[in-house]
Amino acid sequence: MVKSSSSVSHHQFAFYDLLPTFCEVAGIHDFPTAYQSNENDRFDGISFYPTLRGREETQTKHDFLYWEFHETNMIGVRQGDWKMVVERGKPRLYNLSTDLHEDHDIAAQHPEVVRSLIDIIYQEHTDSKLFPITLPQRP
């Protein structure tokens, strides 16, 4: 059964979750390994089909979401209610539970959160001459 149209979910997902979701809906369960060409390939997507079926208690969740936009020299990291946007190396921090429109940069008030999200950036980023981006400085 699919979740009611009048319900609300706060499940966080990214575009790369669509493929595993569509595969699960279609009954394809070996897609992560079926398309893996070597041990370095990995698939970050997580099916959100359990959420669509109203089974959020069984839903696997991302620890964080991470994006890079080299065209605009921006990076985004989301972890729980925290979202950090880095533009040309300058981080801005928002608490989406109290500032959904991202109007108030609170990076100065939460240096520990900024530090934690910058650590994620350095963990996830891969240098590329084709896709240059300005990383934030580590505090």
Could you tell me the pLDDT band of residue 36, with boundaries at 50, 70 and 90? low
Helix (H, G, I), strand (E, B) or coil at 76: strand
Higher pLDDT, 42 or 122: 122
- The rounded distance, in Å, linking the Cα atoms of 98 and 127 is 34
DSSP H helical ranges for 70-110: none
Which residue type sits at 84?
Answer: M
Task: Write out the two tokens for 63.
Answer: 């620890």
pTM for this entry: 0.81
Q: Are 81 and 96 in contact (CB under 8 A)?
A: yes
Question: What domains lie within the chain, and their CATH numbers?
Answer: 15-58 (no CATH), 65-124 (3.30.1120.10)
Question: Tokens 């897609």, residue?
Answer: 31
Q: What is the per-residue pLDDT across 43-99, written as a single tens digit (0 to 9) for each? A: 788 899 999 998 989 999 999 999 999 999 999 999 999 999 999 999 999 999 999
Instruction: Count other C-beta atoms under 10 Å from residue 78's C-beta.
Output: 20
Instruction: Count other C-beta atoms under 10 Å from residue 20's C-beta.
Output: 21
Higher pLDDT, 105 or 56: 105
Collect contacts of 92-98 with beta carbons under 8 A, ≥24 apart.
Answer: 93/117
Q: What is the mean pLDDT of residues 3-27?
A: 83
Say which DSSP state 3 is in. Answer: P
pLDDT of residue 67: 94
Kindly list the distances between the CA atom of residue 121 and the CA atoms of 53, 59, 60, 71, 74, in Å, as whole numbers in the listed order.
33, 25, 22, 17, 12
CA 1 distance to own-chain centroid: 27
